Amino acid sequence: MFKRLSPGLLFSMAALAAALLTPLVVLFYPIFHVQTFLYDASAFVLFPSGINFMLVSIACVVVILFCILLAYKRNVLTYIASVLLIGGSIGMLYMATLSYVKINDEQIVQQHLFDEQIVRWDDVNEVVLEYVIGDVGEYIFTANDGKQIIIPETGQFNSEAKSKIYQLTSQYNVRFIEREK
Segments of the chain assigned to CATH 2.30.29.30: 116-180
Helix, strand or coil for residue 138? strand
pLDDT of 157 > 80? The answer is no
Residue 37 β-bridge partners: none
CA 70-76-79 angle, 5° bins: 40
Q: How far is CA 31 from CA 52, 58, 168, 175, in A?
A: 9, 17, 26, 32
Supply φ then ψ for residue 30, to 5 degrees.
Answer: -65, -40
- The arithmetic mean of pLDDT across residues 46-71, rounded, is 93
What sign does the dihedral 48-52-57-59 (CA atoms) show? negative
Q: What is the mean pLDDT of the chain?
A: 90
- The arithmetic mean of pLDDT across residues 23-28, rounded, is 95
Give the Cα separation of 48 and 62 in Å (integer).
22
Q: Where are the beta strands (DSSP E) in 79-156?
A: 100-103, 107-112, 115-120, 124-131, 138-143, 148-152
pLDDT of 55 > 70? The answer is yes
Residue length, the chain? 181
Query: What would the pLDDT profile of 64-113 be if each residue is shown by its tens digit?
Result: 999 999 998 889 999 999 999 999 999 999 999 999 999 999 999 999 98
Q: What is the pLDDT of residue 28?
A: 94
Query: What would the pLDDT profile of 135-155 be if each residue is shown by its tens digit?
Result: 888 999 999 998 999 998 887
116-180: CATH topology: PH-domain like (2.30.29)
pLDDT of 3 > 80? The answer is no
